[in-house]
Amino acid sequence: MLLEVKDINVHYGKIQALHGVSLEVDQGEIVTLIGANGAGKTTTLRTISGIRSLSSGSISFDGRDISKVPGHKRVIAGIGQAPEGRGVFPGMTVHENLLMGAYARKGELDKDLAEVYELFPRLAERRTQLGGTMSGGEQQMVAIGRALMTKPKVLLLDEPSMGLAPMLVAQIFEIVKEINRRGTTVLLIEQNASQALQIAHRAYILETGRIVKSAPASELLNDPAVQAAYLGAGLEH
C-alpha cells in the first residue's frame, strides 16, 4: 500500500474534526474521498500532508510511518498537493509559480516543466502572466502543475472542481485521469461526487468526521443511498 491512514483522530482545540478515519491508497489508483461541506475532507488532506497533527492513529507512506515527519519532508518523500483554494502566488508569473513546486529539489527541471506545459497548453501560452490575474480554472491548473513539479508519488487534490464551470470541471478531471495514466497515484477530495466517482477506481464517503462507506467507485455510482445523498443535482446522464 502506498498510503495508509490508520484510525486517525484530529482535533481543532477541543473540537474533534476526525473520528477514527482510516483509508488506503494503492500505487496506481485514483481514490476519491467525498463528503459534504464540513465533513472533514480538508482536515484529512492536511493531516496527510503534515500541516495538521494527529491526536492519535498513524499515517504510513511508501512503507514507513510518517506520522511525526514534518510537512516539508513529506513533500520530498513524494506527497504533493494542490490545496483547497489553490494557493497560487498572485504576484508571481505562472512560470515562477511552477518553479516554486520544485524549490526543494535539485537537478534538471526542464523535462518536468515541459511535461507540465504539455499537460496544460493553456499554462504554456500564459507562462509570463501573473498568477493572480488567471481565471479560476487556470489557477487550478497552476496549482496542479506546481504540485506535479514536486515529482509526487501521490498527488493530493482538494476540491479541484470548486467554483468552476461544468466544461472546465470536465477538462480538469480529464487531466487528472491523464496524470494518473502517466503513473501518478491520486487522492481526489471532492464534493462533486458524480464526476469524481466517474474517474476514480475506489471511493470513501466521509460524514461528520467519520468514514461511513468505502467501495469501488462504480458501485457507489449505482448505490441508491449514495445517489440520494450525493448525486442528486450532479447526475445529468
Ligand X SMILES: Nc1ncnc2c1ncn2[C@@H]1O[C@H](COP(=O)(O)OP(=O)(O)O)[C@@H](O)[C@H]1O
Instruction: State yes or no: residue 42 binds Mg ion (CB under 5 A).
Output: yes
Sole binder of ligand X in the list 2, 21, 23, 39 (CB under 6 A) = 39
Instruction: State yes or no: residue 35 binds ligand X (CB under 6 A).
Output: yes
Residue 4 DSSP label: E
User: CA-CA distance, 203 to 226, in Å (whole number)?
Assistant: 11
Instruction: State yes or no: residue 40 binds ligand X (CB under 6 A).
Output: yes
Smallest gap, in angstroms, from Cβ of residue 37 to ligand X?
5
Pairing of strands 30-34, 185-190: parallel
Task: Mark the segment that binds ligand X (CB under 6 A) among 9-17, 60-68, 104-112, 144-152.
Answer: 9-17
Instruction: State yes or no: residue 192 binds Mg ion (CB under 5 A).
Output: no
Smallest gap, in angstroms, from Cβ of residue 159 to ligand X?
7
Residue type, 160: P
Q: Which residue has the cell 482538494?
A: 158
Instruction: State yes or no: residue 42 binds ligand X (CB under 6 A).
Output: yes
Taking each continuous run of H as one helix and of E as one strand, the counts in the chain are: 10, 10
> Taking CB within 5 to 8 Å according to partner kind, which of Mg ion, ligand X, none is near residue 62?
none
| Contacts of Mg ion in 61-90 (CB under 5 A) | 84
Task: Mark the segment that binds ligand X (CB under 6 A) among 34-42, 72-80, 90-98, 117-125.
Answer: 34-42
Instruction: State yes or no: residue 113 binds ligand X (CB under 6 A).
Output: no
User: CA-CA distance, 81 to 51, in Å (whole number)?
Assistant: 11
Q: Which residue has the cell 537537478?
A: 107
Instruction: State yes or no: residue 47 binds Mg ion (CB under 5 A).
Output: no
Closer Cβ to Mg ion, 84 or 207, answer by number: 84
> Taking CB within 5 to 8 Å according to partner kind, which of ligand X, Mg ion, none is near residue 90?
none
User: CA-CA distance, 156 to 152, in Å (whole number)?
Assistant: 9
Task: Mark the segment that binds ligand X (CB under 6 A) among 32-40, 86-94, 127-135, 147-155.
Answer: 32-40
Q: In what order do the strands lie in the sheet with 3-12?
A: 15-25, 3-12, 56-61, 64-65
* Crossing angle between the packed helical segments 136-148 and 166-181, to the nearest 10 degrees: 10
Smallest gap, in angstroms, from Cβ of residue 84 to Mg ion?
5
Sole binder of ligand X in the list 14, 37, 110, 233 (CB under 6 A) = 37
Handedness of CA 144, 158, 198, 180 (dihedral sign): positive
Instruction: Judge whether 218 and 62 are in contact, CB under 8 Å.
Output: no
Q: Which residues bind Mg ion (CB under 5 A)?
A: 41-42, 84
Q: Which residues bind ligand X (CB under 6 A)?
A: 12, 15, 17, 35, 37-43
